[in-house]
Amino acid sequence: MEIHMKNFNQFFCKLFCSMFLLVFFLSLGFLNAKPAPPPEMEAWLKKAELGAYEPKKENWDDIVKKAKEEGEVIVYTSSGRIQKLVKPFQKLYPGIKLTVHDLGSTKSVQKTKREQQAGIYNADVVTTGNSGQVIHEMLNKNLLVNYVPDHFKSRIPREYREPLLIRVNEAVVFFYNMEEFSKGSPVTNIWEFTESRFKGRVGMKNPLSSGSTFMAVMTLIQHPEEMAAAYKRYKGLDIKLSDGVPNAGYEFWARMLKNDIVIFKSGSKLAAASGKKGQKKPLLAFANMTYIARNDSKGFVNAIVKELDPVAKLLYPTFTAIARQAPHPNAAKVFTAYVLGSTKLNKKSKLSKPYTKGSSSDLLLGLAPYFDPGTRSPRNDVPSPQGGEIWDEMKEWHVDADFMWKQGAKIRDFWILHSSM
């Protein structure tokens, strides 16, 4: 009896401890389980062979056949370059109309959420950044479905296809004008941008309307210790925070705003403001790294600050997913595969400019408009573009979706407050 009682007490203790830990972790939000799909979504997933109903082996010919029967794929995107895919996609897949809505990152999320909440299922594919919102407000609430074509699963590392497929990785960097600064970068430490000699000389897009810029702003904020250490290496002193500013990451942006940073609505105009030839006192730009390609297409003279303490490159993902209850799910699958490039593309492929034409375009497919030094495919078998070696030479920090989700509102409030000072 004593042995049985002892076993019972041990069992009860283990049960109590397990229940306590479960409640504890739930209270901290560690078990933020995705809700089960509602019945109408479940029926759609089954018919579309998505989610839990994905077959072990896809019949790609059958998917393409069904896609042509559907006749259209509607894409909500944060990138204007997707528009360049319309003609080549429709040429490769006659009978499938590609309709692109270039909305920007913030509006891509907002429009998808608004429509689905109203019971309107218009989009087939959503491809955008805004990591925190996309993961927590869309994927985790069944507004999106992750889909990776079978023939790419072995070519894309798990961290780039789960929990959501990354279409491309992009980055925000600092640019300077090579005519103005012919001897090279005028800065080596990020805190130099806050000095009076650069007052009104640095431009950036508005982070309250640009998802990529907001992610970059936030990535610096999420590394306060490294930012403080970089300040000490620059000044030889510990940083003194302004009143009400919590750490060195926030302090950097408070000082940048106080130093009259110039806010742009258009990334193209920002790239021109720093890179156009013949300017008097051109701006330095905090902008998407992909704008370095404008040196070829527009004759700009931008250069990237590739050695910067504590970090030179702020990396963020652009996701692609099939929208909940997409009206053309098979066409969505075909488009998803298209933007990842041809299966014939590999490390030994010989690619030449312009990448959007000829044999290079035939291999790159939907990657062609993004094949530049400032963008990277998630695939592990894609060669680097001309000039792409700079990507690997720069120290990088990655945006953290959870940090973005938890701290986003606070950072927006901070930006609004300090912009008005």
376 strand-pairing partners: 169
Mean pLDDT for the chain overall: 91
Q: What backbone torsions phi and psi does residue 317 show, to the nearest 5 degrees?
A: -95, 150
Q: What is the mean pLDDT of residues 402-414?
A: 94
The pLDDT value given to residue 167 = 97
The pLDDT value given to residue 133 = 87
Query: Each residue of 12-69: pLDDT tens digit?
Result: 444 444 443 333 333 334 335 678 999 999 999 999 999 999 999 999 999 999 999 9
B/e letters for 219-250, b = 16+ CB within 10 Å, e = fewer, are bbbbbbebbbbbbeebeeeebeeeeebebbbb
Query: Each residue of 368-400: pLDDT tens digit?
Result: 999 999 999 999 999 999 989 999 999 999 999
Residue 83 zone, left/alpha/beta (φ > 0; ψ -120 to 50; rest): alpha
Confidence band of 5 (pLDDT split at 50, 70, 90)? very low
d(CA 121, CA 307): 46
Report which DSSP code applies to 147: -
The pLDDT value given to residue 129 = 85
The closest alpha carbon to 103, from 73, 82, 133, 87, belongs to 82
CB 145 within 8 A of CB 51: yes
d(CA 33, CA 30): 9
CB 293 within 8 A of CB 372: yes
**Contacting residues for 344 by C-beta, under 8 A, at least 6 apart:** 363
Query: Each residue of 128-163: pLDDT tens digit?
Result: 987 788 999 999 999 999 999 999 999 999 999 999
**Could you tell me the pTM of the whole model?**
0.86
The pLDDT value given to residue 122 = 98
pLDDT at 284 over 50: yes
d(CA 329, CA 72): 10
**Contacting residues for 255 by C-beta, under 8 A, at least 6 apart:** 194, 242
pLDDT at 257 over 70: yes
Domains along the chain?
Answer: 39-168+317-380 (3.40.190.10), 171-315+396-419 (3.40.190.10)
The pLDDT value given to residue 21 = 34
Query: Each residue of 205-254: pLDDT tens digit?
Result: 999 988 889 999 999 999 999 999 999 999 999 999 999 999 999 999 99
Cis preceding-peptide flag for 317 (omega within 30 of 0): no
